[in-house]
Chains A and B, each alone.
Chain A
């Protein structure tokens, strides 16, 4: 392969990986936007999503699409339960308490899952034909097409919900100014709960898609993608929905280029180098605006 075709091939791989990051990053950014919490348990929610999809396919014998939908529903519900039990009682506590609780929830999800499904990695069944298409000499395999399509559909739906529906407007209002939103008659607790539900469902979709793409899942699989998605959310501007989408894609592409042209050993280093650079030079992220803390 010459340089040009290697580049295009890496871009295709990068966009697939980036789509997954974007799906996870959306949950980070939405939750941060609404309650200013970096939900460090979010990567583990994604892992649970992968397992729910796995069992729907292997035990119940379902196809990929029903498994995806059920995984999103079950995991979305789990996200709401976590919020209700772990975060809601701390609504008026200092932010650091909630952050530490999130780390606790993360460990809980990891090791509770391990207890039930054992730490052994599972092989995700081959549920989607991997005969891809060839465009001008470049291979886009079936799983990559699936990832692009599902991600695109979910992002269109999410954008529609946030921009056009009543609950979406309520989410934006609570995120901008919770107290004034309540004066409009918006039940902020309910909106926060729904935000966790939607964010967790998107992460679950990412989990199932990763299972399909890499064929292997394990109870600690959420740690690294969780951190990477956090980087993606910060890169795009935390709290900004289009920022998470763009940040995820950029991160995926950078990682793929680094793997392809340097060495895959440097992949993770590249991701965290981006985090450091963003924090140094543009802490608000690409799409973020610098805001002063309101007193």
Chain B
């Protein structure tokens, strides 16, 4: 099967800082792929480059066979990639409903959008209860759900998730990860960035390990979870 997303030897800089040093990775349709690694390894930078917020200096990115490196972020959403950013980044001063409406900004099929509101509210019933509430008043877990619901409103083919477990209680993390699996089973391909390697490896098909801007290991998620090296470095023994 041809890869849905193909990142080929990209180099990304923040000014003079060489943040990503020749990363290549692929995501096939239907997969959950995770990118794990320590703080500052370049996980978020990689996601932000795929979603068009950053442009790689060298290397190519292709999505569904089309090159997308250098295409602006607002255009990449239209191609079918949607990102749940790190720290959720919901529009705190707007209502839950308005946040979802913004998620559907690119869409013109009114009926489809209505169906998707329902789909999101089914998946996250708590958002329905708080529909008219300012998004900033939601709890951390609810905000994560809103950020995910908002990203789903563009009906993405590929969902990029940046640290969905950040700042959440263990029970909530479990809930969020179950939802990620559900979303994937409903047909959305997932690329997940996580510091919580344990959780990420438990739901992913494949994984890449990132260290200071380079991929140092990759392979089947179960095998990586079992490997001595990973257990020592990321899984606490």
Q: Could you tell me which A residues sit within 8 Å of B by CB distance?
A: 166, 169-170, 172-173, 176-177, 179-188
Question: Which residues from B are CB-within-8-Å of A173?
Answer: 91, 94, 102
Question: Which residues from A are CB-within-8-Å of B94?
Answer: 169, 172-173, 176
Q: Are B74 and A186 in contact (CB under 8 A)?
A: yes
B49 part of interface (Cβ distance < 8 Å): no
B78 part of interface (Cβ distance < 8 Å): yes
B46 part of interface (Cβ distance < 8 Å): no
16 A-B pairs (CB sep. < 8 Å) = A166-B105, A169-B102, A170-B105, A172-B91, A173-B94, A176-B91, A177-B89, A177-B91, A180-B89, A182-B52, A183-B85, A184-B102, A185-B78, A185-B106, A186-B102, A187-B74
Q: How many Å lie between the Cα of A184 and that of B151 in the bound state?
A: 8
B53 part of interface (Cβ distance < 8 Å): yes
Closest to B94 in A: A172
Question: Which residues from A are CB-within-8-Å of B164?
Answer: none
Q: Are B102 and A179 in contact (CB under 8 A)?
A: no
Main secondary structure of the interface of B (DSSP, over half): loop
Measured between C-beta atoms, what is the minimum distance from B12 to chain A in Å?
A: 16
Mark B62-84 against chain A: 1 for CB-CB distance below 8 A, else 0. 00000000001110011000110
What is the number of contacts between chain A and chain B, taking CB atoms within 8 Å?
59
Q: Are A183 and B73 in contact (CB under 8 A)?
A: yes
Q: Are B53 and A183 in contact (CB under 8 A)?
A: yes
Question: Which residues from A are CB-within-8-Å of B82?
Answer: 183
Question: Which residues from B are CB-within-8-Å of A170?
Answer: 102, 105
Measured between C-beta atoms, what is the minimum distance from B109 to chain A in Å?
A: 14
Question: Which residues from B are CB-within-8-Å of A184?
Answer: 74, 77, 102-103, 105-106, 150, 154
Question: Which residues from B are CB-within-8-Å of A185?
Answer: 74, 77-78, 105-106, 154
Known: A176-B91, A179-B85, A183-B73. 16 other contacts (CB 8 A): A169-B94, A172-B93, A176-B92, A176-B94, A177-B89, A177-B91, A182-B53, A182-B72, A182-B73, A182-B74, A183-B53, A185-B154, A186-B74, A186-B102, A187-B72, A187-B74
Question: Which residues from A are CB-within-8-Å of B74?
Answer: 182, 184-188
Measured between C-beta atoms, what is the minimum distance from B79 to chain A in Å?
A: 10
Which residues of B in the span 81-111 have a Cβ within 8 Å of any Cβ on A? 82-83, 85, 89, 91-94, 98, 101-103, 105-106
Q: How many Å lie between the Cα of A187 and that of B73 in the bound state?
A: 9
Q: How many Å lie between the Cα of A137 and that of B92 in the bound state?
A: 49
Question: Which residues from B are CB-within-8-Å of A166?
Answer: 105
Q: How many Å lie between the Cα of A166 and that of B106 in the bound state?
A: 11
B51 part of interface (Cβ distance < 8 Å): yes
Q: How many Å lie between the Cα of A166 and that of B108 in the bound state?
A: 12
Given A186-B102, A187-B74: A180 in contact with B93 (beta carbons within 8 A)? no
Q: Are A186 and B85 in contact (CB under 8 A)?
A: no
Measured between C-beta atoms, what is the minimum distance from B145 to chain A in Å?
A: 16
Question: Which residues from A are CB-within-8-Å of B72?
Answer: 182, 187
Question: Which residues from A are CB-within-8-Å of B89?
Answer: 177, 179-180
Question: Which residues from A are CB-within-8-Å of B53?
Answer: 179, 182-183
Q: Are B83 and A183 in contact (CB under 8 A)?
A: yes
Q: How many Å lie between the Cα of A172 and that of B150 in the bound state?
A: 16
Interface centre among B51, B53, B73, B93 (most CB of A within 10 A): B73
Interface centre among B77, B85, B89, B91 (most CB of A within 10 A): B91
Q: How many Å lie between the Cα of A184 and that of B150 in the bound state?
A: 8
Question: Which residues from B are CB-within-8-Å of A176?
Answer: 91-94
Measured between C-beta atoms, what is the minimum distance from A292 to chain B in Å?
A: 14
Question: Which residues from B are CB-within-8-Å of A186?
Answer: 74, 102, 105
Closest to B73 in A: A182
